[in-house]
Every structure is written in C-alpha cells, then in structure tokens.
Amino acid sequence: MIIPTSSASSVKRALVLGGAGFLGTHLVRALLASGVQVRSFERRKRDSAPDVASSLDVPLRVTPDDPRLEIVTGNFSTGEGIAKALEGVDLVYHLVSTTVPSTSNADPVADVEGNLLGALRLLNAMRAADVGRIVYVSSGGTVYGNPSTLPVPENHPLEPLCSYGVVKVAVENYLGMYAHLYGLTANVLRVSNPYGTHQHRIGVQGVIPTFFKKIAERTPIEIWGDGSVVRDYLHVKDVVSALLLAGARDRSGTFNIGSGVGHSINEVLEIVQRQTGLAADVRYLPQRKFDVERIYLDISHARAELGWEPLLGLEVGCAEYERALRLSGRAESSGGAR
C-alpha cells in the first residue's frame, strides 16, 4: 500500500464516520500507521476491541488499546453524538451510508432522512465546532447514471438512476455550497466499485467477495442481467491511498477514484474461477432498471491533482484479496450478488 510520506501532515486527529465499516476499517488502520490520531465513530458498541493489526501489510506499532485510537458510538442520521465526536478534530472522513444503491429506491424518503439530513446536521455541527476539513466518499458508479462518454469524466452530467445516487449528488452540492460560503475545505471522492476484506454486506454490495465466497462454498451465484454489465473495480488499498491524499489537501475538489478500466461481471467471474480453480454455478436473473449498463471512470484529474495512482489491476487485486482472505481465515456471511 502507498502511504504518502507527507500525507495528512498537518492533520493531528481525524474523525472517521463509519470507522467500523468496509472502507472505514482499512482507513482507520492506514491513518494510525501514518501517525494520525483517530476517533472512529460507529453505530454500535463493539463486542471486542478492534483488531487493528490483523491482515495489515504496513508496519504498525499499535495495540488494540493504543491511546491513539478512540472509539465513540452515536447515530449519524439523527446527529446523536456528532457534536462531541467533533471535539479537537481537524479532519472528518464521512464514509457513512444507511443505504446501498440496490435498496435505496424502496424508500427514498428514508434515504433522504437518513443520509442527506444527517450530512446537513454534520456540516452545521462542523461549522459550530470550527472543524474546517472534510473528505466525503461519493459514488462514481451511481452519480452519473448511464454515461454518454467512457471513461466518464467528473464534468459529465449527473443523472442518477437510484436514490442512493441522488442523495450523493445532493450531499456533494451542499459540500460545494459550504465550501463557497463558509470556507470549508471539502474533497469529494467519487469512488467506483471498491472491493476487499471487511466488506460485510455480502450479496448487497461487492461482487468480488460474493463470488469468492460462493464459489468456495459451492453455492449458486446469482447475476442480475446477462453478466455484460461493465463496472470499474478498485481494490480497497487503492481507495485508502486516495483517502489519505485527499485528507492532506488544503483546497476543495471532486475526484473520480477508480481503476479507469471497465470489466464485465462475466470477466470478473472468469478471473475468480481461474484463481480458485473452481467452476461457478451461475444463475442469470432479469436485469434491473436502476443498474447502470456500462461505466468506468476517467481518473486523470485525480492523477494530476492528487498525485494518486491505482496500483492493483483486477487480476492482481483479486489475487491479493484472496490471499488476505486466506490469511485472515475468516468466513463471511452469505447472500446474492449484484
């Protein structure tokens, strides 16, 4: 993993909203490894202390009770615990979402209440606490809708087909407005389809972990459509390096964060079969209308402005994921694929 040597150099304590989630787990570790104090904001009390050292590739001299890591609990949607969590913080990572693309359309009102109003309350609390810097994880896969050009650049029209994407766009717009009006430094990362360990919502988000798990368990793999849908898959290590670079930035900006390359679901399945040496039992289901057909991101802006570069292609990234999975020796829970 790239940990930029100057990363977050001016940041002493970062608040990670969603620190127990998929990206959050990896980000918290990387921040600690880069010498930043971390306050992780989580929804539930953990049963045990976080295992910050597990499956880490970077040297990390922290123990689970390291004073540099503080766990706080609260409710992002209602704002409960946010004001206290912001005390003494100079950077906020906002990684929380109460919905995923495939479920968000079932109740857009709840999506707006949980995610958009939550983000607005956070921004108001940041103003009150004089916390001036935020990195927001938006969605490269949903904000554009069905792109008219590929790879899709950041200035492509935003025409989301799911509530998840509509809310992401609205949060982005409020961040831009608060940056303009109140001097907030807001960096938006439109992350494509990230994959890696700790992706717990198997079957809801994350084709790659789902495929690896189901093929190992010899359970059927369900695919919406004929498998020709194209996505931009990005290994979590590459997401984390972008998050660190964005956190160290003194200006506001919006960046596509993807591999820059498109792969069909069927291609992903081939890779997983090849790497595991197992044949998948695939069931193709009718295509869903809110699924974007083909998307991959133009990442030239992040390359030029953030100095970021994704290092793990799909083949290498899948192998790396499979290795980390074996090392951690963990099984993950079951479901269907998207």
Point out the residues that are catalytic: 164
Q: What is the DSSP letter of 79?
A: T
Candidates 44, 45, 61, 289; binder of a copy of itself (CB under 8 A) is 289
> Environment class of residue 109 by beta-carbon count within 10 Å: exposed (0-12), middle (13-18) or buried (19+)?
exposed
Q: Other CB atoms closer than 10 Å to residue 5's CB: what's the count?
A: 7
Which of 177, 331 has the CB closer to a copy of itself? 177
Please state, in angstroms and rounded to a whole number, the distance separating the CA atoms of residues 200 and 163: 22
Handedness of CA 198, 203, 208, 211 (dihedral sign): positive
| Cβ at position 174, least distance to a copy of itself in Å | 6
CB 192 within 8 A of CB 231: yes
Candidates 270, 290, 294, 307; binder of a copy of itself (CB under 8 A) is 290
| Cβ at position 246, least distance to a copy of itself in Å | 19
In single-letter form, the type of residue at position 170 comes to: A
- List, as one string, the DSSP characters of 126-143: HHHHT--EEEEEEETTTT
Q: The tokens of 293 are what?
A: 């057909």
118-177: which residues touch a copy of itself (CB under 8 A)?
120-121, 124, 145, 155, 157-163, 165-167, 169-170, 173-174, 176-177
Which of 20, 166 has the CB closer to a copy of itself? 166
| Cβ at position 32, least distance to a copy of itself in Å | 34
Please state, in angstroms and rounded to a whole number, the distance separating the CA atoms of residues 168 and 208: 23
Between strands 233-235 and 282-285, the pairing is unpaired
Which of 61, 289 has the CB closer to a copy of itself? 289
Candidates 65, 181, 329, 333; binder of a copy of itself (CB under 8 A) is 181
| 65-18-292 Cα angle (round to 5) | 145
| Cβ at position 281, least distance to a copy of itself in Å | 31
Q: Which stretch binds a copy of itself (CB under 8 A): 36-44, 64-72, 105-113, 204-212?
A: 105-113
Q: Which stretch binds a copy of itself (CB under 8 A): 29-37, 116-124, 195-203, 311-319?
A: 116-124
Q: Is 277 left (phi over 0), alpha (psi -120 to 50) or beta?
A: left
Which of 138, 210 has the CB closer to a copy of itself? 138
Which of 10, 173 has the CB closer to a copy of itself? 173
207-266: which residues touch a copy of itself (CB under 8 A)?
none
Please state, in angstroms and rounded to a whole number, the distance separating the CA atoms of residues 54 and 39: 19
For a copy of itself, how many residues bind (rule: CB under 8 A)? 32
CB 219 within 8 A of CB 283: no
Candidates 47, 59, 109, 149; binder of a copy of itself (CB under 8 A) is 109
Query: Which chain residues interact with a copy of itself by CB under 8 A?
Result: 105, 108-109, 112-113, 116-117, 120-121, 124, 145, 155, 157-163, 165-167, 169-170, 173-174, 176-177, 180-181, 289-290
